[in-house]
Chain A
Amino acid sequence: MSATTNSSSGRGGVGISATAPPPRRVTTTIRSSNRIFDGVSWVVLVVAAIAWLLPSLWALKTSFTSNGTSAVGAQAILNDWALTFDSYLTLIKGGDLWNWYLASAVTGVLTVVISMFVCSLAAFALSRMNFRGKKWAMGAILVGIMIPSQVLIVPLFAELNQMGMLGTYWAVILPQVPQVIAVFVFKRFFDGLPRDYEEAALIDGASWWRIYTSVILPMARPVIAAMSIVTFVWVWNNLLLPLFVLSNPKLMTIPVGLATVQGSFGQRVSDIQASSILGALPLVVLFLIFQRQVIEGVAGSGIKG
């Protein structure tokens, strides 16, 4: 995959430059233009990073200002650097915030547990076994990736209504269990695992189930961890489904609760910003701890949202 356009074809290539004589063709002009370029890059990046952090910081600042001041406007907030915890206290003491945390935690955890189990089982079968109908199953997976689940909200609601599951956490959990992309990612991972161990185990008379639990799963921990966290974030952040299937404020997940807060908090600007901070906080903490897994999972799955 040669892409260099101005190198002579004899040169270049892996390893050669490591022992090449000092670059004679890199003139001072190029070196200084590179330095300017790097300098500009730094400035651009830092400015962009600050611009990107600003909105969250602004929300944070507002949440620590009193409601009265924030209602007046941005200028007033910039002038007032007294910190109050009133908004946070209001939210923590009263209201439904804890119920929302509960709903998000329960639905997130249960979805992840069930989904990772179910999806890894399926991926394992697709990766390791030859069976009748395998082509159909593989085809179904590929088709499944193409189905945009948000568009199915209406028939899904009707279906959940008929199953009597509306108004329970299961209405949020069960539809999010079949994560086709997880099957895809797991299968790709399993395909890359060496087959030696399981063949030894097979010869020794182990069942597929034992192979799955004792051989494959331990090796799959990193990818399961990554997909678990990504799925958890996805479930936590899902608005569309819980918005319509969980209408009672006591059962709402965080995003749905935050959505209703706008209507019910009125002019309490600081409270609203504080609630958005608190609603996002668990995920931010999760991200800071599991940064690597999240980013790996996101990059690996390549399709989210």
Chain B
Amino acid sequence: MSAALAAPAPAAAIDPSTKTTPARGARRMTRTAWGFLGPFAVFYVLFLIWPVIYMFISSLFNTTLVHQGLGSFAALANYREMLGKNEFWVSMWNTIYFTLLTVPPLVFIAFVLAVLANRVQRGQWFFRLAFFLPFILPSAAIALIWNYIFTPATGLWPTIQGWFGDTNPQSVLGTPDLAMVGIALTTVWWTIGFNFVLFLAGLQEIPREIYEAAAVDGASAWQQIKSITVPLLGPTTGLVVLLQIIASLKIFDQVYLMTGGGPGISTEVVLQLVTNTAFTDYRVGAASAASVLLFIVILLVTLVREIIERASAKSKREN
């Protein structure tokens, strides 16, 4: 059937895929290709590219939600407002603080759990289920669950604190210094499964023979992990860290649902400032300026990720 054509035909006088001369064939191919790409391209431009462009444009105007058109020209006033606004910097810091609180545990704990789960081999389906199940749940569901656990005085969390002797514990979500920690804890519970699965997949790519060879050489389990697992998982870990950072910068759901940015603005994150400005204050132009600033930050981190991924792929090829 296909054996006769095992080798791909290189550029011949008649291109089999177009059955005509190269020139006309190329044109037809281009038409067909764009026919295939067309639907996606339409959605892509409409809902990914155009919003980016509109975001940049409206950030220079006093666009509002309740009036048509772009509004009066504001030049850089919106940017000046955002960069000069205490609330903006606080929300930036809150976002970064959230990232700092969640990325290390999410990476470290997932790593440890994955390594252990990979080692014990049996019962992996149970552990995978336990750790990954929360990840499937909608943010609204987990927020309701954890809001409830953190209910001041009567929730499960303060009740357990009471068992350990703290009879009048502070309300986690009601105390400015603790609120973000509570949200971070919820987030770690929620998303650890994702990293766990990624690490497990990476671990399963390491051939068992390497471990066995090391075992033959007298390496204990702990030493094997230290010298084999950790270095080999380096690239995966790097990827997970960067993914986590990017996801944390875009945080919105849990904060909106659990504290609404409070107490005060102690947990308000940038995306919430953006949506408050746009949808409560009706000020699309100003919100776009804040969005652009956040966009730039995320883009920078993403670029770093891309560069690292390229570099590691290149080094993989060279090895």
Contacts and interface: CB of A to CB of B under 8 A. Distances in A.
Interface of A: 1, 3-8, 11-17, 20, 23, 25-27, 30, 33-34, 37-38, 41-42, 44-45, 48-50, 52-53, 55-56, 58-59, 62, 72-75, 117-119, 121-122, 124-126, 129-134, 137, 140, 142, 144, 146-159, 161, 174-175, 177-178, 180, 183, 195-197, 199-200, 202-203, 205, 208, 212, 233, 236-237, 239-240, 243-244, 254-259, 261-262, 269, 272-273, 275-277, 279-280, 283-284, 286-287, 291, 294-295, 298-299, 302-305
Contact of B218 (A26, A122, A208, A262): A26
B116 A41 contact: yes
Contact of A6 (B34, B227, B284): B227
Given A25-B218, A26-B215, A203-B5, A74 B298 contact: no
Nearest to A299: B201
A154 to B, nearest CB: 4
A239 B39 contact: no
Interface of B: 1-2, 5-6, 8-9, 16-17, 19, 26, 29-30, 32-34, 36-37, 39-41, 43-44, 46-48, 50-52, 54-55, 58, 63, 65, 112-113, 116-117, 119-120, 123, 126-149, 151, 153-156, 158-160, 189, 191-192, 194, 197-198, 201, 207, 209-210, 212-223, 227-228, 231-232, 239, 243, 246-247, 249-250, 252-253, 256-257, 271, 274-275, 278-279, 284, 287-288, 291, 294-295, 298-299, 302-303, 306, 319
Contacts of A269: 148
B218 A12 contact: no
Contacts of A53: 130, 133
Contacts of A26: 215-216, 218
A240 B5 CA distance: 51
Main secondary structure of the interface of B (DSSP, over half): helix
A159 B30 CA distance: 31
Contacts, number: 369
A269 B156 CA distance: 13
B274 A153 contact: yes
Given A41-B120, A155-B52, A6 B145 contact: no
Contacts of B113: 44-45, 48
Contact of B231 (A3, A153, A174, A183): A3
Main secondary structure of the interface of A (DSSP, over half): helix
Contact of B275 (A72, A121, A244, A257): A244
B136 A280 contact: yes
B36 A239 contact: no
6 contacts: A4-B228, A121-B36, A151-B271, A208-B36, A254-B140, A295-B132
Contacts of B47: 156, 159, 174-175, 177-178
Nearest to A38: B120
A119 B136 CA distance: 23
Contacts of B191: 305
A262 B147 contact: yes
B215 A131 contact: no
Given A154-B275, A155-B51, A12 B213 contact: yes
